[in-house]
Structure 1
Amino acid sequence: MEKLFHSVTLLLLFLGLLFHGGMTTYMKSQDESEEWGYVQVRPKAHMFWWLYKSPYRVENPSKPWPIILWLQGGPGASGVGIGNFEEIGPLDTFLKPRNSTWLKKADLLFVDNPVGTGYSFVENDDLFVKTDEEAATDLTTLLIKIFNRDERLQKSPLFIVAESYGGKFAVTLGLSVFKAIQEKRLKLILGGVALGNSWISPEDFVLSWGPLLKDLSRIDENGLQESNKIALKIKQQLENGKFVDATNLWSELETVISSRSNNVNFYNLLLDSGSDSVALSTKETRLFREISKKRYSNYLSSKRLRFSPGGNGDLSSLLNGPIKKKLRIIPKNVTWGGQSDRVFDVLEGEFMKPRINEVDELLAKGVNVTVYNGQVDLICATKGAEAWIRKLKWEGLKTFLGKDRTPLYCETEEHTKGFYRSYKNLDFYWILGAGHFVPTDQPCVTLDMVAAITHSPATQK
C-alpha cells in the first residue's frame, strides 16, 4: 500500500507540473527554479528549451534582471548539452556546481536549435530548416510561446548570446524578434545581441587562416601559398553564388591547414589536435567534411579530460541517462547527440553565406550588438572578425575604429585579460588567452563582460 501511495503521489506531482498549451509541453521543477518543455514550432517539428532562474537575482527597478538566450553553433550543436553543461550552465558534466556559471549575472535559456538538434526533433525529415531565416522563424515561435504567457519574463530584457555558427542564427533571430515585437506578436524586451567567436563572414575567416598561422610560424611559405590558393577559390565561389561548393572547399582547406601545420587545433591554435592522416590520403569531399565536423566535439572531449584527468563526464551518457530521466518528457525514440550531422548537411548551402548585412540592419535599428573573440581561436580567428567588422556600412564605424581600446582586468589580478572598444550600440571585446570557447578558457573576465553587456545588477563574482 505504501508503494502504491508513493506511485500515485509521483503521478499526481507529474500531472501537476505538466501542461499542454495547444502545441506545447511545459514542466517546472518543484522549487520553480527551472522550467523546460517542447514547443511545436511547426506541425510535427518540436523544439526543446530549458530555462534556469538565477538564485543570484537582484531586484532593481532601474536595472531589470536580464535573461540570456544561448545559441550554440555547428550548425546542429546542442545548446542544452554543450552550452549548458560544458560552458555556462549551473552544473558541469560531472553534475558538480560551476563557479563561473552565467547565472551569477542573468537567467539562462537554452534551446536545441534548429529542430533536429539535441533533444529537438522532427517527425518527418522534410521538416528540417534549410536556411538561417527559417531557423529564426522557428525560434521566434518558441519565444512567443514562452514569453507571451509569462508577465514576469516580459519584464526582463532578453539578450541573444551566440557562439560560432550560432552567431548567424543570432543576427537573423534578432531581426525576426525586433519585427515580432513591433507587430505586437511577441511580448518581450530585446536587450541586445552578442556574437561570440561567430561565423558571421566565412570568407574573411578562411582568408585569415594562412597569414595568421604563417606569422606564428605554425605553417611555412609553402603552406601559406597552398592554403591561400584554396581560400581564394572559396572567395570566388562565394562571389559566384556556389555556396555548396564553397562548403566543400572549406573542409578541404581545413584538411590542408592540418597537414601543413602538423595538426594545429582549430579551436585553440596553441594546441595540437589528433592526426587526420586517413582523410589526407583520400581526396573525398565527404570524408573531408566528416573530419571537419568531428573536430568540434573532439576538442570539447579532450578539453574536458584535461581539466578532469581520470574522470569521465561523458556528455552523451549524461544527456541520454540521468538528464533524460530527470526531464521526463523526452520521447523514448529521441537520442541526444552533441552534433547533428543531418542538420549540418541540410544547411550546407547556408554554411558559407555571410551575415554582415544582418549585423548592419541590427545596428541601424538601434539594437545593441556586441562582438567578442578569443585571442587564440583559429576557426573564427580575431583577424577574420576584425576584417568583417571593417566591411560594415554602419554610420558609426569610422568613429568606432578610431577609438582607443580599454584594457580589461579581472578582480585583483594585475595581468591584462583583454581589451574593449565601444561606440554607440557596437561593442568589441578581445579576450586574451581564450580560444573558441571563451567562457571556459577565461571565465572570470567573461563573467565581467556578461555583466557589462546585460547591465546586470548582480555584484557577485
Structure 2
Amino acid sequence: MAMLNLMLFLMSISVFMALHFYPLEAALVRSLPGFKGTFPSKHYSGYVTLEGNPPKNLFYYFVVSEKNPVRDPVVLWLNGGPGCSSFDGFVYEHGPFNFEAAKQRGGLPVLHLNPYSWSKVAGIIYLDSPIGVGFSYSVNTSYYVNGDLQTAAETHLFLLKWFEKFPEFIANPFYIAGESYAGIYIPTVASDVVKGIKAGVKPIINFKGYMVGNGVCDSDYDGNSLVPFAHGMGLISDHMFKEAEVLCKGNYRNSINVDCQKILTKIDRVLDDLNRYDILEPCFHSGELKDVANGNMSFLPESFKQLGSTERPLAVRKRMFGRAWPFRAPVEDGIIPLWPQLMRKVTVPCLDDVQATIWLNNDAVRKAIHANPESGNWSLCVDLRYTHDAGSMLSYHKNLSSSGYRVLIYSGDHDMCVPFTGTQAWTQSLGYQIVDEWRPWRSNGQVAGFIQEYANNFTFLTVKGAGHTVPEYKPRESFDFFSRWLNGQRI
C-alpha cells in the first residue's frame, strides 16, 4: 500500500511538472540574435490562444523582473494605435535592450543591455493586441475587425489564461501600463479585470492599479488642448490665439463657425512642419532623409515603399512611423482612420521605425521568440478596421480610482499629438481634493518635471522635455518615476 501511494505521489508530481514547467520551458527565450551575453533575467514568449473556430492567437513577450521575481510587480504593457505592436515599447522605449543600427549593410541591429529597463524592478508583459497586430493572428482574418470593448474583453481573457500558464506570478501585484491610444485600452481592460475579480473569476488577479502616458481620454478635453498648448509653447502668436479664443469660444474641435474654422486652418499651417510628437525634435521632410544604417529598402513594408525612394529611413530612435495615435487627438466615436489609410491622403510626418522592422522580420529572431510563420510579416502598425465604441474614459477613471486602485497619468510636456494641457484639464475635472500641490520632481538631482497628487491615490505628472513616447526621450527619468510609483515611494 505504501508503495502504491508513493507511485501515485510520483505520478502526480510528474503531471504537475508536465503542466507547469514544460510549457514554460517551451516558451523560454534562450538567446536573441544581435545580443552577446547573458540575460539579466529569464525571458519567455509565445502565444496565448483564445478559443474559437478558428482560435485567436495573442502574442506576448515576458521579461521576468531582474530584482526579485517572487515579490516584484508584474506589469502588462500596451502600445496604442489602435493597431500598433507593443514591441514599440520593447525596442524603442523601456525594454531590456538598446538597439544599435548595424554597421554593415544588411546586418542585424546590435543589442546592448538597457540600464534603464523597466524590467529591473518589475516583470513586463509586452502584448500584441488586438488580433491582427504584430505577431498576434488568426487564420480567419475577418477577426481583424475590432473595437474598444471587444479588445478589452479579449485582453482580459488573455490575462486569465496567461496567469494559468504562469501561476507562480498570480500573487504578485499586477498593474497595467501603456501610452497614447492605450489611454482607451487601459481603463477598459482594467474595468473588465475588476468585474472579473468581483465575480470571483479564477484565477483571481492581484490587480493594484494602472498608469497611462500621453493617453487619449475624452474627445472634448483632448480636442480643445492643441491651441492653448501651441500658444503656451510660443508656437503661435498672441494675436492668433486671441482671435481663435474669440471666434471659437473655446471649442476648437467641432465648431461649425466658418470664421473659427479659418483661424484653425491658419494655425494648422503654422504648425504643419513641426514634429508633432516632440516639438523639440527635428522633422525630416521628403527628400531630406538619409539612411545612415542601410541603403537597401527591400526589407520595408509596402507602406514605407509608397513614400518614394528619396525618403530614406533614419537611424535608431529617430523614428516614429505608425506612432501610437496616428495623427492628432481627439479620438472621435466610430471607425478610426489608421496610418495605412491616412497615408493615402497625407504625408507621414517626420517618421521612421527601421530597426524594429529589420530585426523582427529576421527568420532567426522570429524563431528565437517563437513567432509563428502564420502571423505574416511584422510591422509596427497595421491596417485594421477598428471602432472607438467605449466613449469618454472619464467615468472609467472615476470608477476605478474611487474603488481604491492606484492611478498615475503622465505626460511628456512637448508632445503636440496629445498635449499635456488637455490631460491636465481632465485630471482636474474629476474633482478630487489636492493632497500634494503642484511641485517639481527630480531625477539625478535635476528637475525632471512636475507633479500633482490627488485624493484616491490619483496622480498627474509631467516629464520635462519629453515627447509622445516618454521613455524613448527620457529613459532615466521614466525609470525613476516608474520604479518609485510602483514601490509606493514619493516621486
Q: TM-score, normalised by structure 2?
A: 0.71
Deviations 1:402-446 (A, max 9, x none): 7412321123x3x31122222332011121111111112222222
How far apart are the structure 2 equivalents of 1:229 and 1:449? Answer: 38
**Pair 1:271-2:287 in alignment:** no
* Matched residue type, 1:420: I
Task: Find the partner of 2:366 among 308, 319, 324.
Answer: 324
How far apart are the structure 1 equivalents of 2:405 and 2:26? Answer: 30
Unaligned runs of 5+ in 2: 1-17, 31-38, 101-110, 288-305, 308-336
Q: Judge conservation of contact 1:363–1:425 (CA < 8 Å) in 2.
A: yes
Shift of 1:20: 10
Q: Judge conservation of contact 1:263–1:276 (CA < 8 Å) in 2.
A: no
How far apart are the structure 2 equivalents of 1:206 and 1:325? Answer: 43
Shift of 1:161: 0.7
How far apart are the structure 2 equivalents of 1:274 and 1:362? Answer: 41
Inter-CA distance 114–350: structure 2 relative to 1 (3 Å threshold): same
**Pair 1:178-2:194 in alignment:** yes
User: Counterparts of 1:21-32 in structure 2 under 5 Å?
Assistant: 27-30=27-30
Shift of 1:84: 0.5
Q: Judge conservation of contact 2:20–2:165 (CA < 8 Å) in 1.
A: no
Shift of 1:226: 7.3
Alignment identity in percent? 22
Q: RMSD value over aligned CA atoms?
A: 3.8
* Matched residue type, 1:150: F
Partner of 2:95: 89
**Pair 1:107-2:113 in alignment:** no
User: Counterparts of 1:41-440 in structure 2 under 5 Å?
Assistant: 41-43=50-52, 44-57=55-68, 64-79=71-86, 81-94=87-100, 95-185=111-201, 186-220=203-237, 221-222=239-240, 232=251, 234-235=253-254, 259-275=269-285, 289-290=342-343, 295=348, 298-299=350-351, 301=353, 314-321=355-362, 322-332=364-374, 334-342=376-384, 345-347=385-387, 349-350=388-389, 353-392=391-430, 397-400=431-434, 403-411=436-444, 413=445, 415-422=446-453, 423-440=455-472
How far apart are the structure 2 equivalents of 1:254 and 1:51? Answer: 44
Partner of 1:6: none
How far apart are the structure 2 equivalents of 1:226 and 1:191? Answer: 43
Shift of 1:188: 1.9
* Matched residue type, 2:433: T
Shift of 1:204: 1.7
Shift of 1:399: 1.4
Shift of 1:209: 0.9
* Matched residue type, 2:380: G
SS state at 1:416 partner: strand
SS state at 1:314 partner: helix
Stretch moving more, 118-127 or 355-364: 118-127
SS state at 1:420 partner: strand
Q: Judge conservation of contact 2:439–2:451 (CA < 8 Å) in 1.
A: yes
Inter-CA distance 216–328: structure 2 relative to 1 (3 Å threshold): closer
* Matched residue type, 1:326: A
* Matched residue type, 2:132: G
How far apart are the structure 1 equivalents of 2:286 and 2:217? Answer: 27
* Matched residue type, 2:283: S
How far apart are the structure 1 equivalents of 2:373 and 2:25? Answer: 12
Unaligned runs of 5+ in 1: 1-15, 238-249, 280-284, 302-312
Shift of 1:131: 2.0
Shift of 1:391: 2.6
Inter-CA distance 230–29: structure 2 relative to 1 (3 Å threshold): farther
Inter-CA distance 229–156: structure 2 relative to 1 (3 Å threshold): same
Deviations 1:84-120 (A, max 9, x none): 0111110123322111110111111100011111111
SS state at 2:429 partner: coil
Partner of 2:14: none
How far apart are the structure 2 equivalents of 1:293 and 1:122? Answer: 31
How far apart are the structure 2 equivalents of 1:101 and 1:38? Answer: 23
Inter-CA distance 263–83: structure 2 relative to 1 (3 Å threshold): same
Q: Judge conservation of contact 1:206–1:231 (CA < 8 Å) in 2.
A: no
Q: Judge conservation of contact 1:41–1:142 (CA < 8 Å) in 2.
A: yes
* Matched residue type, 2:269: S
Q: Which has the larger radius of gyration?
A: 2
Q: TM-score, normalised by structure 1?
A: 0.75
Deviations 1:153-186 (A, max 9, x none): 1121111011100121000010111111222223
Q: Judge conservation of contact 2:441–2:449 (CA < 8 Å) in 1.
A: yes
How far apart are the structure 2 equivalents of 1:258 and 1:17? Answer: 58
Shift of 1:203: 2.6
Shift of 1:58: 6.7
Q: Judge conservation of contact 1:26–1:38 (CA < 8 Å) in 2.
A: no
How far apart are the structure 1 equivalents of 2:341 and 2:282? Answer: 18
More helix by share: 1
Partner of 1:241: none
- How many aligned residue pairs are there? 394
Shift of 1:36: 1.5
